[in-house]
Structure 1
Amino acid sequence: MSLTAAMNTAQSIFNNTSKQTTVVSTNISNAQNPNYVRRNAALTTSGNGAVVASIERAQSEPLLRQTILTGSMSSGQSTLLAGLKEIRDLLGNNDYDNSPSAKLQTLYNALSSYAGSPGEATLGASVVTAAQDLVDNLNVTSTEVQGVRQRADAQIKTKVDELNNLLAQFETANNEVVSANALGADPSTPLDKRETLLKKISEIVGVSTVLRTNGDMAIYTSEGTTLFERIPRAVSFVPTNTYTALVTGNQVFIDGTAITPGQGGDTNAAGSLQALLQIRDEAAPKFQSQLDEIARGLIASFAETGPGGLSTPVAGLFTNGVNSTIPPAGVVQPGLSWSIKVNALAKATPTTIRDGGMNGAAYVVNTSGSGYSTLIDSYAQAMKATRAFDNTTDVKGNLSLMTYASSSAGWLEAMRSTASAANETKTAMYSRASEAYSNETGVNLDEELSLLLDIEQSYKAATKLVSTIDEMMKALLAVAG
């Protein structure tokens, strides 16, 4: 080997070790960064030995796709579970002691006690108190259910704004990747940034991606709508300020296409947006409709029909808060659980529960005195009598009012339980996918430090070669005089 070739080899080693040291140092400094993908200085042979040909990322597209998919599923499931827990908390502790079912049982017990001693005025007052507690429970629970919808609507607005912001950032990162690839520069840093943004986007809405020329990436939602293709697509939503049982929330549009809500306790929602729509438009309204059916069943159960049941049925102990009309059987009356009231005459004169007459003299049933319990018994029996309920509430079949209320709480608990089990599964799936991806692309300090020692040995070899060349040059110059 000539001295010139030796010098070129040494120079090549110095260049290589400098670039390798920079790469390894960057890896080590980002060892705790979950959004950093490990780099490697790839060597190739040349006329003067090895040379750093490129900087490679330890990328794994299949594992990245799996991480994004499971992340979307986990985000959607956890969002739904949080909403169901919020609704569930309205019913009290594990015994559901603040549920309409529990309040109905209290009313039934009060009626039974009053029927046993119809002459006891305090027992009649106890029935009115139990009825008022039940109405208050329905009114408040209905209001709080609409509050859940309102908060979900506000979260949807926040998520839409966040998604639009992320897409704007994604455009910048994507352009940087395309530019770096077109110029032959290292795209690793913008790729890390783009990948981080993609993960955040997937937590809001399920996505799939397509890579094109120079690493350009297009994003589509899990429903097939274009989310990003060279430029972000518009994500729009108009929030609703006030919710009642009669109010339908506005849709979320991506590129003019509406997002569909998730379905089921083990929801198919991909990302938090679909889950929030499911809470606002599916779960909470369904429970609201069940509350409304309980209220309708109460009004019907305590209707006054006059002597012999021959008069036109009108609202008795419970009214819709407006008039004495009896709602039609088997049809939900939206918002009835919010508007239901205890008849003012029953509050003023509890004995009307025993005697009838809340709607005038024509509806008085008891004319035999304070020992009469037939009407009180009929109300208690009506609470346990089979009647038609609206099947669209998901509590189906001909059931008694008491059974329907209990089944409503059971419906909610079953959905929450299913969501909780699914959340554990999907969280575990996401955790395993993230761990596998991290093991493949993350920084291992032991490996990096070992590589740093190898680079140090290469550097020492180069310095030894330069030292030897220097001694030879000195010897040559000494011989030349």
Structure 2
Amino acid sequence: MTSLLNALNSGKTSLLTNQKSIEIVGNNIANVNTEGYSRQRAELMQIPAVNFGDFFIGQGVAVSDVSRDYSLFISRQLQSKSIEFGVETGKSGSLTEMERIFNVSEDNLASQINDFFDAWQELTTNPSGQVERDVVMQRGQLLGEAFSSITDQLDTVAQNMNTEIISEVETLNEKIAEVARLNDRINLVEISGQTANSARDQRDLIIKDLSETLGVQTYTDNRGMLNVQLPGGMPLVQGGIAATISTVPTGTDVNLQLQIAGSTLDIPLENLGGKFKGMFEMRDVFMADLRNDLNTLAVDLTDAVNLEHSGGYGSDGLQRNFFLDMATLGPTDVPSRNVRVILTDASQVAAAGNIEAAPGDNEAALRIAQLEVTHRVGTTNDTFDNFFSQMVATVGIEASRNDLALSGAKDATIQLQNLRDGYSGVSLEEEMIDLIQYQRGFESSAKFLSTVDEMMNALLQLKG
């Protein structure tokens, strides 16, 4: 009778174990399309045998744990490539806009510079002509508008980036706080000996997003909690404690600060990774260099023209600057936005180099017209046209590099994601095989229990 009871217990454990295994397979099938889900498996353990007479009798089977298919190596590789992809993504949008601003069409700043000096060349053929003088002033005004237009468009790109940064910070804080909450939940579940598979999947998915956006780094502490930090080491999550990122206005831009444990820290560029690093590099480094070059061109061109123009004479016999003197600008004034013709009348255009020969003399107009090919900008060996063309080339080269890098990072990320899905994802074919296996096991266990029950009834009837 005792052996039948042991057999009955073995059949019961087998029935329950196969039932639990079927439930796990069903959960896998249900989550086949769930992003970030890792396939779960029932870990089966033989219940220790007991000594019965001269034999050790087995006590059946139990589910010791529910594990998940997870590769730390693949996860780390995917996190690393997500950071690279994020950096190039952060640069992509603004580079597309800058390619439009610094275009190679016939209607760009270089063409306005050419038209301006062409107008002076036309004036040399008829220095006293009213129409030619009007055209010179008009071309000067259009040149100033071209400088200002580029500056305004760069400001718009920067403002759009600032707006995007502000809008994403709130979402980032929610994800950072969620990692801390998941740390607590995982610790609470696993301290009792269970495995928090679902919470770990959710945490991994959030870390992937944070890697792409902020370039975060992670490590596990001695309590098994996942700590998260920025590339420079500034902490975002320490166990169950989450930091908060905020935006602070700095002039017309916004920068980031970190609040944690009552302290407020500025987040410099070198402490950023991912998409935010790409955006801040474009705004604070790449675009800043373009602005400096544009200001250099504006100052150099206006100074060179003013130098020659102030040495000549207008029809009224006076000497004066053609453009606004950049030296009179305040510290917050932008030179490229202040390229302005200060003449109020065409008679003030200084074509003559000799006051006695004015207005028929063209000596000053010739010197100004020749600046287009003879003058060199700053310490470079570039003419005005070539200097701007170098700026256009810089944008074009960076945009091409970004396209290649973005495409490469995207392909690598997709390949690693496919590798992760192949290792950890749900395969319906495999699940169907497991389902059949556990179903057969369940049916066999039920048949075994039915047989033992019949034997016990027969035995009881014999005793009766």
**What TM bracket, shorter-length normalisation?**
0.7 to 0.9
Corresponding residue of 1:229: 238
2:349 to 344, 353, 361: 353
Q: Secondary structure at the match of 2:66?
A: strand
TM-score normalized by the length of structure 1: 0.83
1:384 lines up with 2:373 in the alignment: yes
- Retained in 1: the 8 A contact 2:88–2:406? yes
TM-score normalized by the length of structure 2: 0.86
* Deviation (angstroms), 1:478: 5.3
* Deviation (angstroms), 1:139: 0.8
Q: Distance in 2 between matches of 1:128 and 1:25?
A: 80
Mapping of residues 156-171 of structure 1, within 5 Å: 156-171=165-180
Deviations 1:276-332, CA, capped at 9 Å, x for gaps: 221221122211111111211221221123259xxxxx8733225xxx7589xxxx9
Residues 258 and 66 of structure 1, relative CA distance in 2, 3 Å threshold: farther
Deviations 1:109-137, CA, capped at 9 Å, x for gaps: 33333434445543433333322222111
1:407 lines up with 2:390 in the alignment: yes
Residues 367 and 33 of structure 1, relative CA distance in 2, 3 Å threshold: farther
1:270 lines up with 2:273 in the alignment: yes
Corresponding residue of 2:442: 459
* Deviation (angstroms), 1:147: 2.3
CA RMSD of aligned residues (A): 2.9
Deviations 1:122-178, CA, capped at 9 Å, x for gaps: 343333332222211111211221222222223233333322221111111110001
Q: Secondary structure at the match of 2:84?
A: helix
Q: Distance in 2 between matches of 1:200 and 1:56?
A: 24
- Retained in 2: the 8 A contact 1:177–1:215? no
Corresponding residue of 1:72: 83
Q: What one-letter code is carried by the residue in structure 2 that aligns with 1:58? A: D
1:100 to 97, 109, 120: 109
Q: Secondary structure at the match of 1:34?
A: coil
Q: Secondary structure at the match of 2:73?
A: helix
Corresponding residue of 1:317: 322
Residues 114 and 260 of structure 1, relative CA distance in 2, 3 Å threshold: same
* Deviation (angstroms), 1:209: 1.6
1:431 lines up with 2:439 in the alignment: no
1:220 to 229, 241, 245: 229
- Retained in 2: the 8 A contact 1:76–1:275? yes
Corresponding residue of 2:51: none
Q: What one-letter code is carried by the residue in structure 2 that aligns with 1:382? A: L
Q: What one-letter code is carried by the residue in structure 2 that aligns with 1:235? A: I
Q: What one-letter code is carried by the residue in structure 2 that aligns with 1:239? A: P
- Retained in 1: the 8 A contact 2:297–2:377? no
More deviation in 175-184 or 253-262?
253-262
Q: Distance in 1 between matches of 2:436 and 2:228?
A: 42
Q: What one-letter code is carried by the residue in structure 1 that aligns with 2:22? A: T
Q: Distance in 2 between matches of 1:74 and 1:18?
A: 44
1:342 lines up with 2:341 in the alignment: yes
Deviations 1:200-225, CA, capped at 9 Å, x for gaps: 22122112222134531111222222
1:146 lines up with 2:155 in the alignment: yes
Residues 367 and 452 of structure 1, relative CA distance in 2, 3 Å threshold: farther
Q: Secondary structure at the match of 1:237?
A: strand
Corresponding residue of 1:306: 311
Q: What one-letter code is carried by the residue in structure 2 that aligns with 1:176? A: R
* Deviation (angstroms), 1:366: 5.6
Q: What one-letter code is carried by the residue in structure 2 that aligns with 1:463? A: A
1:290 to 293, 296, 307: 293
* Deviation (angstroms), 1:96: 3.5
Q: Distance in 1 between matches of 2:146 and 2:377?
A: 23
Corresponding residue of 2:46: 45
Q: Distance in 1 between matches of 2:209 and 2:312?
A: 68
* Deviation (angstroms), 1:334: 6.2
Corresponding residue of 2:357: 368
2:122 to 104, 113, 120: 113
Deviations 1:408-455, CA, capped at 9 Å, x for gaps: 211222222222222122222222222212211111111111111111
The runs of 5 or more residues in structure 2 that have no matched partner are 48-57, 314-318
Q: Secondary structure at the match of 1:416?
A: helix
The alignment-based identity, stated in percent, is: 20
**Count of aligned pairs:** 442
Q: Distance in 2 between matches of 1:278 and 1:104?
A: 30
Corresponding residue of 1:180: 189
Corresponding residue of 1:416: 399
- Retained in 2: the 8 A contact 1:298–1:318? no
- Retained in 1: the 8 A contact 2:95–2:399? yes
* Deviation (angstroms), 1:66: 1.2
Q: Distance in 1 between matches of 2:79 and 2:61?
A: 38
Q: Distance in 2 between matches of 1:277 and 1:43?
A: 52
- Retained in 2: the 8 A contact 1:135–1:341? yes
- Retained in 2: the 8 A contact 1:301–1:383? no
Q: What one-letter code is carried by the residue in structure 2 that aligns with 1:427? A: K
Q: Secondary structure at the match of 2:218?
A: strand
More deviation in 132-141 or 460-469?
460-469
Corresponding residue of 1:192: 201
1:26 lines up with 2:22 in the alignment: no
- Retained in 2: the 8 A contact 1:39–1:55? yes
Residues 385 and 333 of structure 1, relative CA distance in 2, 3 Å threshold: farther
Q: Distance in 1 between matches of 2:202 and 2:255?
A: 33
Q: Distance in 2 between matches of 1:65 and 1:415?
A: 28
- Retained in 2: the 8 A contact 1:355–1:365? no
The runs of 5 or more residues in structure 1 that have no matched partner are 263-267, 309-313, 357-363, 390-395
Corresponding residue of 1:392: none
- Retained in 1: the 8 A contact 2:354–2:361? no
- Retained in 2: the 8 A contact 1:299–1:326? no
Corresponding residue of 1:311: none
Q: Distance in 2 between matches of 1:141 and 1:77?
A: 24
Q: What one-letter code is carried by the residue in structure 1 that aligns with 2:6? A: A
1:260 lines up with 2:265 in the alignment: no
